[in-house]
Amino acid sequence: MADHYETLGVERTATADEIKKAYRRLAREFHPDVNPSEDASDRFKSVTHAYDVLSDARQREEYDLGPNPGFGGGGAAGFGDIFEAFFGAAAPGSGGSGAAPRSRKERGGDALLRVDVDLDEVIFGTKRDLEVATAVLCEACEGSCCAPGTRAVVCDICHGSGQIQRAVRSLLGNIMTSSPCGTCRGFGTVIPSPCPTCAGQGRVRATRKMTVDIPAGVDTGLRLQLPGQGEIGPAGGPHGDLFLEIKVKHNDIFSRNGDDLLATLEISMADAVLGTTAKFPGLDGPIELELKPGTQSAEVVTLKERGISRLRGNGRGDLKIGVQVLTPTKLNAREQELLRQFAGTYKAKAPQLAEFQQGLFAKLRDRFLHV
C-alpha cells in the first residue's frame, strides 16, 4: 500500500499548506474531466484519499503513529506480564490477541404488524396474505455495500485491525490504550465507492409479500413470532423477527369466553310454554336446538364441541346459548281475550317472593357480562 506522503509527493514534515498545494496540483492533473483514462481515475482516487487523511489533524496523527507504535523509553520491558497480572489479559500490541475488527454485518431489526381476524376465522385458523414494508438485500451490490465492480480496501490507518493504539504514561510505565479507528469506524476496511443504490448500506427499503398461517384459538393481544422474517441487517446481516399482533374483530351475535362461544336466543312465550325446534346459522355451520316445553328465561343450553379450537391442546370449547323468553307488550283485543281465558283455566300461583336462587343470578350475570 502506497504511503500517503509519497502519493502526494511531499515530505512527512510537510505543513498543511504544502499538503493542500500538492493535492490541488495533482487533482488538476488526474481529474476525470481533464484526464479520462482509467489509470488517471485510480490516481485521482488515491490522491483524494491521501489528502482526506493527511488534511485532518487527528487522522494524520493516527496515520503517523501506525497501528502498533512502540512504547518508547524505559519501562516497556515486561509490561505484558504486568498488564496480565492486573487485568487478566495480554496487553494490546504485546504479543497477545487484540480485539477483532468490527463486522459490517449486523442483525436486522424486528418488525411488528397488527393482523385483524374475524371470530369465525379463530375457530379453525386461517391464512393471511400480508404486505410488509421492510429492509431487503440490495440486489445491486448483494450486501457488499460497494459499487458494482469495486470492493472494500484495508484501512491504511489501522491496517485492518479496526483499532488505534496509543502509549499512555502511568505509574506502571507506558500503558497501551486501544480505541476504534476513526477512519474506518472499527471495521478495518473502508469503502472508496459506496453502492449508489443502497448508499453503502447493503440493504434497501421494499415491500415484501408473504402468506402466514394464523393458528386456531388465537385471541386479541396475542403475538405470533415468525423467526427470520423481519428486516435484513446492514451489509446483508441476519434477518430480525416478525411479530404479528392479533386483533379479533367484534361479532354482533357471538361472544367469546376463553374457548367457549356465547350467544342469546330469543323465543316467544308460546314457544317457551309448548317447546320448539330453533334453527339458526352458527359460525361453523347451521345449528339446530331442541327446546323442551316449559323452557325458562335465563336457562343456558350447552352444545358440546361447537366453540373455538383450543390453541394449546386438543378439541374445542362449547357453545353456550342463553334463552330469553320475550313477553308480548302489544296485543290486540282478540289476543288479550285468549290470554284471559287461558289464565282462567290455568291454576297459576299468585305472584310472591320465592326462595333466593343464587344459580339464577349467576346465569344472568354470566350472560350479560360475556355476551
- Each residue's pLDDT tens digit, 289-302: 999 999 998 899 99
- Is 46 contained in some domain? yes
Beta bridge partners of 290: 277
Q: Would you list which residues are annotated within the binding site for Zn(2+)?
A: 138, 141, 155, 158, 181, 184, 195, 198
β-pairing verdict for 319-326 and 260-268: parallel
DSSP code of residue 249: P
CATH number of the domain at 220, please. Answer: 2.60.260.20
Q: Are residues 50 and 131 in the same domain?
A: no
Q: Are residues 28 and 13 in the same domain?
A: yes
CA–CA gap between residue 234 and residue 187 (Å, rounded): 13
Domain that residue 316 falls in: 255-370
Q: Would you list which residues are annotated within the binding site?
A: 138, 141, 155, 158, 181, 184, 195, 198
Instruction: State yes or no: pLDDT of 368 exceeds 70.
Output: no
Q: Are residues 267 and 301 in the same domain?
A: yes
* pLDDT given for residue 82 in this prediction: 38
Tally of structural domains, the chain: 3
The x, y and z cell numbers of residue 215, run together, are 393458528
* pLDDT given for residue 88 in this prediction: 38
Residues 171-175 have a mean pLDDT of: 69
Q: Which amino acid is at 71?
A: F
- Is 106 contained in some domain? no
In this structure, are residues 367 and 297 in contact, taking their beta carbons and an 8 Å threshold? no
Q: Are residues 301 and 341 in the same domain?
A: yes
Instruction: State yes or no: pLDDT of 189 exceeds 90.
Output: yes
Instruction: State yes or no: pLDDT of 344 exceeds 90.
Output: no
- For the chain, the average pLDDT equals 83
Q: Are residues 280 and 322 in the same domain?
A: yes
Percent over 70 (pLDDT), the chain: 83
94 — pLDDT class (breaks 50, 70, 90): very low
- Is 1 contained in some domain? yes
The x, y and z cell numbers of residue 344, run together, are 282462567
Name, in order, each residue with C-beta under 8 angstroms of 291's C-beta and a sequence gap of 6 or more: 267, 271, 272, 275, 276, 277, 278, 301, 323
Q: Which pTM value belongs to this model?
A: 0.65
Q: Are residues 285 and 329 in the same domain?
A: yes
